[in-house]
Structures are given as C-alpha cells and as structure tokens.
Amino acid sequence: MILSVEELEFLYRSRKILHEIAFSIEEGEVVAILGPNGVGKTTLLKCLNRILRPKGGTVHLDGNDLFDLGTMEIARIIGYVPQRVETGRLTAFDAVLLGRRPHIKWDITEKDLRIVDSVFRLLSMEKLRMAYIDEMSGGELQKVAIARSLVQEPKILLLDEPTSSLDLRNQVEILAIIRQIVLEHGIAAVMTMHDLNQALRYADRFIFLKGGKVHAHGGAEVITPQVIEEVYGLPVVIGEVAGMQCVVPGSPEVPFAHNL
C-alpha cells in the first residue's frame, strides 16, 4: 500500500469541503477521482501532498505520516501536475529540469541532465527538447508538465484533470502514457477526471465524490447508471461498444437529456 487516507477532513474557512474521506492505493494502480464540478476533487488531490493542509485525519505515504515529512521530502515522493501550467521564455528541457528541484542541493549535476534526457525519450518527445514552451500547443505543454513531474522520480503521481484542455488524440496519448508508466515503473497515479469513458478505459479504480464525501469507491463495478445518476443527477445508459464499456448521457425516454 503506497498511499492510504483515513478520516480526511478539509475546511475552507470553517466550511466543510471534505469529510470522512478514506481510501487506499496500491503500486501499479491508476485511480480516477470523479464527481461534479465544485465537489472537492482538486481539493482532495491537493490534500494528498499537503499543498492544502487537511483539518483532520491521516494520510500515509509509502509508510510515512504525511505530517511528519518536510515539503521537499513530500516532493521527492509525490509528483503533482496542476490543471494550469504557466509558460515563459525557456526551453522544454529547462522547464522539465525544474522538476529536479526537490533533489537539487546547490546546482544541477550531470545525473540530473541524464534523468531529464531519459524522460524525454520515455515520452518520445526528443524533438521538443530545445523548443520554447511559450510557443507550444496545449498538448505539448501538458506533456512537458507530466515530464516535469516524472523527473521528480516520484512514487505517486497526482494529476489534476490531465486531459481537460486537450483534443481527442492528445487525451488518449496522455492517458496511455500515464497508464504505461504506472505499470512499468510500479508507481501509482491519482487523477481527477470528468470524462467517465476515459476513466473507464485508463483507470483501475474509481472514487466518486458527492457532498464532500466518498459516495462510491471500487473497480469498474461501481460505475453503474444508479451511482452516476446519484452523483451527477443525470440519467445515463451504459452499453458496450466493440467490447468496451461506454457511458452515454440521457436515457431512451429522454434521448437528448436537455429537458431534465
């Protein structure tokens, strides 16, 4: 067990955002956090690496209590890819090199450069190495952000809506890369998502949040029309297309789901 959360509680100015959150994650797993906007998915993610400070509960990282670790120690265990990535006039190589920050003492070493180079190869983005990130497309920028979190050599990756601003091809590519890296390197990934179909294809386990609590938690079996309607307040149909499970909004009675 690489990450376990018990009784996690988060308050924003005395307003309860998250409470009674409990789940655990194993190595080699991709976990999708699902739920409507504003339910606290991003907040939950940020509590896991203490960007936000939970009010109560415990988080165990790789056997350590999260609250006993320094911020740099946390950053050596957890890589975080936020929703928004800022650009500037620097090369992709330098932008990714920044991910070595938790390991840098005074200055970068040859080892840091080697690690950055091998991550560029791993993500097949050698061609982008010397490109300036302020001239990049959203998809390329997202890959740079993921590469940056990988050079941290983390055991856990946290990704906040990694595909939210990407086209279909880039969405599939990014999620497939995450899936593959998690399997090959025995790390774990937790990502917040909106697209249930992408979640079904690329995640092993699912956490549905509703009203600041875990509403449902488990493997693909928890993705049922009933759970989805309870969480999103929207009727859906789940069917099979080419052997893959598919979630379609609406129902035979309300095909376009516009007059809910």
Partner 1 sequence: MHFAKGAVPEDYLAYVRRKYFWILGGLLLLFFMFIYSISVGEVEIPLYKVMQTLLGQKPVTKWDVGVRSIIWNIRLPQALAAIVAGAGLSVAGVVMQSILRNPLGSPFTLGISNAGAFGAAVSVVVLGTGKIQSTVADPIMINNPYLTTIVAFFFCLLATGIILLISRIRASSPEVMVLAGVALSSLFTAGTMFLQYFADDTQLAAVVFWTFGDVGRVNWLELKIMTCVVLFATIFFIINRWDYNAIDAGDETAKGLGINVERVRLVGMVIAALVSAVIVSFLGVIGFVGLVCPHMARRVIGDDQRYLIPGSTLLGGILLLASDTAARLIVSPYVLPVSILTAFMGAPIFIYLLLRGYKR
What residue ranges bind partner 1 (CB under 8 A)? 46, 49, 51, 70-76, 78-86, 88-91, 93-95, 98-99, 101-102, 104, 110-111, 113-122, 129-130, 132, 145, 148-155, 158, 185-187
Output the smallest distance, CB 62 to partner 1, in A.
12
SS3 17: strand
In angstroms, give the least distance from the CB of 183 to partner 1: 12
Are 62 and 104 contacting, i.e. CB atoms less than 8 angstroms apart? no
Tell me, what amino acid is at 204? D
Minimum separation from the CB atom of position 131 to partner 1 (A): 11
Closer to partner 1 by CB, 135 or 253: give it.
135
Q: How far is the CB of 215 from partner 1 (least distance, A)?
A: 26
Is the dihedral angle over the CA atoms 79, 83, 85, 86 positive or is it negative? negative
Residue 226 CB contacts under 8 Å (≥ 6 apart), including other chains: none
* Closer by beta carbon to partner 1, 80 or else 232: 80
Please name the residues in contact with 191: beta carbons below 8 A apart, sequence gap of 6 or more.
30, 31, 32, 33, 157, 158, 159, 160, 161, 162, 178, 203
Instruction: Indicate the residue among 42 and 198 with the shorter CB distance to partner 1.
Output: 42
Residue 188: helix, strand or coil by DSSP? strand
Contact 47, 22 (CB under 8 A): no
Q: Which is nearer to partner 1, 26 or 230 (CB)?
A: 26
In eight-state DSSP terms, residue 16 is E
Of 83 and 245, CB closest to partner 1: 83
State the minimum distance, in angstroms, from the CB of residue 51 to partner 1.
4
